[in-house]
Structure formats: structure tokens, C-alpha cells
């Protein structure tokens, strides 16, 4: 093991102990580890943005593009980014509303597009393909999808003098959808718990291996 490997192993060992110190409550060492993690993550993101966004999309185009290309591909995002910085000042924050609305709109469009083409269309294609392979699995996927969608259907009729209620069919499908959603969330929680437990055991193994390899 080289000197650099030894130093980084020691740093990882100390930081792992600092994180585990949270078992005894919030303390200085745990906060130090979290601050270092946040700082390193912020620095890493800055490096990525600088070398993968600013240089290829701003600095290099300023040096190579003509006036027409700059006006079309460089000036609008540069102006939008500058307007976003006005959100720092309460007096100038209104200037950043337009680029912020643009970002929110693009994000919503991407989310909707992903939901339609990645989830709904994927479910339909999955049902269509699994029906050929297994009618039972395809039927379960179809029923689960319909019931989950019915659970989020909030339209209801309100007869005179009565509270608004969904139709019995939609209400029954929503009850079944609640079961499917509960099973899904339980499976997701189990996956997250398993991943966290795996990371915890990996850190414990790292501590034990590091201590065992120490030569006095």
C-alpha cells in the first residue's frame, strides 16, 4: 500500500467513526463529517458545471461562434443565468421570475413527458407483452395500474343536501388501488432499508479490516 493509499484509508476510517458517533447523539464530529460531505459535494458539482457546462457552452462558443450563432445559442442562456442571480437581492428578485418560470415549465414538461412515455406507455407495453407470456401477470399489472390511477381520481358528484362522493365503482377501485400503492411503497421501503443496511455493513467491514491490517 502506497503512502497516498494509507493517508486516504486513515481519512476514510476517521470520517466513518465521525458518522457513527451520531449513535451517541448529535455532536461536533458528526457535524464535521456532514459539513465535509456537503462541501465536497458542492465543490464537485461546481467542477462538473464549470468544465462540462460553462467551458463547452459559454467560453468556447464565445471564442469560436459568429455573431448570429452567439445571438441564438449563447446570449439567451447567459442572460437567463444572469437574471437568475438577481434572486439573491430582494429588490431585484422580480427580474428572475421569467427564467425561473421557464425552468419550472421545462421541468414540468420533462416530468409529464417522462410519466406519459416512460410510465403509462411503458405500463401499456408491459401489459401487452406480458399478456402473451403470462395472462395472470398481465392481468395483475393491468388491474394494479387502473386501481392506482382510480385512487388519484378526485372527481365527485354532490347531490343536493349531501356530501360529495365518488361513484361506488371508482370508490371500490380506489380501495384496491390503495392496497397496490401500499404494497409498492412497502417494497420501496424494503429496498431502501436493504441498501442502507448494506452500506452500514460495508462500513463496519471496512473498520474491522482497517483495524486488522494495522501493524504495530
Is 72 within a domain?
A: no
Candidate from 57-61, 135-139, 169-173, 181-185 with smallest mean pLDDT = 135-139
Asked if 92 and 86 touch (Cβ cutoff 8 Å), the reply is yes
Last residue of a domain, one of 64, 97, 112: 64
Residue 157, SS3 per DSSP: strand
pLDDT at 29: 93
Is 49 within a domain?
A: yes
Is 81 within a domain?
A: no
Is 88 within a domain?
A: no
pLDDT band (50, 70, 90) for residue 30: very high
Residue 165's DSSP bridge partners are 157
Is residue 178 packed enough to be buried (19+ CB in 10 Å), middle (13-18) or exposed (0-12)? middle
- Domain count within the chain: 2
Is 16 within a domain?
A: yes
Distance separating alpha carbons of residues 58 and 65, to the nearest angstrom: 10
Q: Output the pTM of the full model.
A: 0.56
Q: Which domain holds residue 55?
A: 1-64
Is 112 within a domain?
A: no
Candidate from 166-170, 199-203, 207-211 with smallest mean pLDDT = 166-170
Cα 94–Cα 97–Cα 103 angle in degrees, nearest 5: 160
pLDDT at 35: 95
Asked if 159 and 148 touch (Cβ cutoff 8 Å), the reply is no
pLDDT at 71: 77
Whether 57 shows a pLDDT value over 60: the answer reads yes
Last residue of a domain, one of 44, 64, 84: 64
Whether 112 shows a pLDDT value over 90: the answer reads no
Amino acid at each position: 500500500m502506497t503512502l497516498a493509499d494509507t493517508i486516504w484509508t486513515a481519512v476514510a476510517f476517521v470520517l466513518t467513526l465521525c458518522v457513527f458517533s451520531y449513535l451517541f447523539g448529535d455532536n461536533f464530529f458528526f457535524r464535521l463529517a456532514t459539513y465535509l460531505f456537503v462541501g465536497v459535494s458542492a465543490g464537485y458539482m461546481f467542477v462538473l458545471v464549470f468544465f462540462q457546462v460553462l467551458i463547452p457552452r459559454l467560453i468556447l462558443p464565445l471564442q469560436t461562434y459568429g455573431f448570429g450563432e452567439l445571438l441564438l445559442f449563447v446570449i439567451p442562456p447567459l442572460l437567463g443565468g444572469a437574471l437568475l442571480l438577481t434572486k439573491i437581492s430582494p429588490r431585484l428578485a422580480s427580474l428572475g421570475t421569467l427564467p425561473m418560470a421557464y425552468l419550472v415549465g421545462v421541468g414540468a414538461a420533462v416530468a409529464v413527458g417522462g410519466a406519459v412515455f416512460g410510465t403509462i406507455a411503458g405500463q401499456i407495453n408491459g401489459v401487452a407483452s406480458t399478456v402473451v407470456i403470462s395472462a395472470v401477470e398481465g392481468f395483475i399489472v393491468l388491474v394494479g395500474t387502473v386501481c392506482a390511477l382510480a385512487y388519484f381520481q378526485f372527481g365527485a358528484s354532490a347531490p343536493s343536501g349531501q356530501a360529495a362522493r365518488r361513484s361506488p365503482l371508482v370508490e371500490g377501485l380506489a380501495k384496491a388501488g390503495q392496497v397496490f400503492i401500499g404494497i409498492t411503497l412497502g417494497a420501496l421501503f424494503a429496498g431502501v432499508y436493504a441498501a442502507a443496511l448494506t452500506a452500514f455493513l460495508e462500513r463496519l467491514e471496512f473498520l474491522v479490516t482497517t483495524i486488522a491490517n494495522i501493524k504495530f
